Amino acid sequence: MILRLRGNRVWRRAFSTTPRRAEIQDAEVLQDRIIPRYQRTATSDLLSLQWPSPPRNILMIKKDYAPAVTESLIEYAKHIHSNYDNVSLIFEPRVASEIHESFPFPVYTTTKTSILPKKVDMVTTLGGDGTILHASSIFSTTLYVPPILSFSMGTLGFLGEWKFAEYKRAFREVYMSGAAVSSPLIEAETHRHIQTETGDIVTGWSGVRGKFMGPTRTSKVLFRHRLKVGVFDSDGNRVIGDNTAESARGDVHAMNEVVIHRGKEAHLAIIEVFVGGRFLTEAVADGMIISTPTGSTAYSLSSGGSIIHPLVSSLMMTPICPRSLSFRPLVLPANTPITLRLSEKNRGRELEVSIDGRRRSHGVGVGMEVRVDGEDIDKGNEWGSGVPCVMRGAKSGREEDDGWVGGLNGLLKFNYPFGEE
């Protein structure tokens, strides 16, 4: 049975009529999320992930329109359910209804995306870079994004996906990360159940079937810093986007970039650019990109930007096809406020605004502003902010490898040599 979830009515039917073995339950009933700690290590610029107690609520995101991915997702979900106690699997509504019948256990979902940041301990994705960007967008108004473990089905992407074949080892490593180092958990091994901060009873890591064999290596996490983006009308009032979370919180965060573009207009856009509160320049161009270091290998690269290592705390401003010989990309401190204002000279036209490749349904008109800022870094906190991406272990076995150099060569064909193959 395939459910077509058009409107609440059908949805409600899904909750009520599906037999228990393939039940879809509301994610609201799940316990609140567990926030992990991230510790600096001497040997690496990556942080090491430490769960105070085992993660319970796992959000599983998959790429659309790819049957092979769906099958892999089912295999993966079954593996988690069989091997890890007390883990609840959350899916997006369409996915939940598509696959819940494959499982002999209930799955969770919600149509209120805004509750996910409160519930999800960890995210795992199956797909490519676009799938990770989508997962990140669910947390676009959240300061502390849960760690993301991403798998690629076919060719690897730039955002550090693991090969799907590695899923058992990879999930185990993330799930166990920190188990051996944090003393209460060692204790938990013997008692089997421990108290979480919130008073609930959960299964400790000893609940992991089979192969627990003493301290494991902790997962290495790369924080991908984001941009904070707000759209304002010509009176300075915030314009709410499609994202409902946005309406509540204000700014949204971008993992790659925010883009203003002429879109389908065959004519040039005219954009006033302010940097740190000062007028910098009037861009006459197809558009403008404000990108994170992560996004420096995405659209910005295509527009002539330099490649920035994700650990350089910065923003890059890259024009798209500027009508000027002298508009070079700029790299700015991450906390520089930037405003892009639509000049009066655009004569009433609207420009498109997209965040991480998703176009906002409403463009921006004359006098409207896109305001960008670095992500608020929680200074008191021992760990950084951003999107915590679990990195695949370095092939070379070197601790400090963040995979970036390998990605430049293997994926981007950086400085690819001339001559025959």
Ligand X SMILES: NC(=O)C1=CN([C@@H]2O[C@H](COP(=O)(O)OP(=O)(O)OC[C@H]3O[C@@H](n4cnc5c(N)ncnc54)[C@H](O)[C@@H]3O)[C@@H](O)[C@H]2O)C=CC1
Q: Which does 193 bind (CB under 5 to 8 A by kind): ligand X, a copy of itself, none?
A: none
User: What is the Cα–Cα distance from 378 to 195, expressed in whole angstroms?
Assistant: 27
Provide, rounded to whole angstroms, the least separation between the CB of residue 291 and a copy of itself.
11
Q: Which does 401 bind (CB under 5 to 8 A by kind): ligand X, a copy of itself, none?
A: a copy of itself
- Residue with Cβ nearer ligand X (129 or 251): 129
Q: Which does 128 bind (CB under 5 to 8 A by kind): ligand X, a copy of itself, none?
A: ligand X
Q: Which does 276 bind (CB under 5 to 8 A by kind): a copy of itself, ligand X, none?
A: a copy of itself
- Residue with Cβ nearer a copy of itself (106 or 263): 263
Provide, rounded to whole angstroms, the least separation between the CB of residue 70 and a copy of itself.
18
Question: Encoding tokens for residue 114?
Answer: 């805004």
Provide, rounded to whole angstroms, the least separation between the CB of residue 48 and a copy of itself.
18
Question: How many other β-carbons are positioned within 10 Å of the β-carbon of residue 112?
Answer: 11
- Residue with Cβ nearer a copy of itself (190 or 415): 415
Residues contacting 207, CB < 8 A, separation 6+: 54, 84, 85, 86, 192
Q: Which does 316 bind (CB under 5 to 8 A by kind): a copy of itself, ligand X, none?
A: a copy of itself
Provide, rounded to whole angstroms, the least separation between the CB of residue 311 and ligand X.
14
CB 353 within 8 Å of CB 230: no
Provide, rounded to whole angstroms, the least separation between the CB of residue 364 and a copy of itself.
14
Q: Which does 257 bind (CB under 5 to 8 A by kind): ligand X, a copy of itself, none?
A: ligand X
φ, ψ dihedrals at 379, nearest 5°: -70, -35
At which residue do the structure tokens 């203003």 appear? 260
Q: Which does 159 bind (CB under 5 to 8 A by kind): a copy of itself, ligand X, none?
A: ligand X
Report strand pairing: 269-275 vs 338-342: antiparallel
CB 217 within 8 Å of CB 49: no
- Residue with Cβ nearer ligand X (208 or 284): 284
Max Cα–Cα distance, the chain, nearest Å: 71
- Residue with Cβ nearer ligand X (4 or 267): 267
Provide, rounded to whole angstroms, the least separation between the CB of residue 158 and a copy of itself.
8
Provide, rounded to whole angstroms, the least separation between the CB of residue 110 and a copy of itself.
26
Provide, rounded to whole angstroms, the least separation between the CB of residue 350 and a copy of itself.
10
- Residue with Cβ nearer ligand X (352 or 401): 352
User: What is the Cα–Cα distance from 106 to 103, expressed in whole angstroms?
Assistant: 7
- Residue with Cβ nearer a copy of itself (52 or 130): 130
φ, ψ dihedrals at 128, nearest 5°: -120, -155
User: What is the Cα–Cα distance from 372 to 133, expressed in whole angstroms?
Assistant: 18
Provide, rounded to whole angstroms, the least separation between the CB of residue 322 and ligand X.
7
Phi-psi group of 264: left, alpha or beta (phi > 0 → left; psi -120 to 50 → alpha; rest → beta): alpha
Provide, rounded to whole angstroms, the least separation between the CB of residue 217 and a copy of itself.
20
Q: Which does 111 bind (CB under 5 to 8 A by kind): ligand X, a copy of itself, none?
A: none
C-alpha dihedral over 134, 135, 139, 140, to 10 degrees? -20
- Residue with Cβ nearer a copy of itself (146 or 322): 322
Q: Which does 278 bind (CB under 5 to 8 A by kind): ligand X, a copy of itself, none?
A: a copy of itself
- Residue with Cβ nearer a copy of itself (10 or 412): 412
User: What is the Cα–Cα distance from 252 to 355, expressed in whole angstroms?
Assistant: 9
Residues that bind ligand X (CB under 6 A): 128-130, 133, 157-159, 256-257, 266-268, 285-286, 294-295, 297-299, 302, 321, 323, 356-357
Name the nearest CA neighbour of 40 among 32, 30, 50, 31. 50
Nearest to ligand X by Cβ — which residue?
Answer: 357
CB 92 within 8 Å of CB 63: no
Q: Which does 133 bind (CB under 5 to 8 A by kind): a copy of itself, ligand X, none?
A: ligand X
User: What is the Cα–Cα distance from 257 to 275, expressed in whole angstroms?
Assistant: 16
**DSSP 8-state code for residue 34:** P
* Amino acid at residue number 93: P
Report strand pairing: 24-26 vs 220-224: unpaired
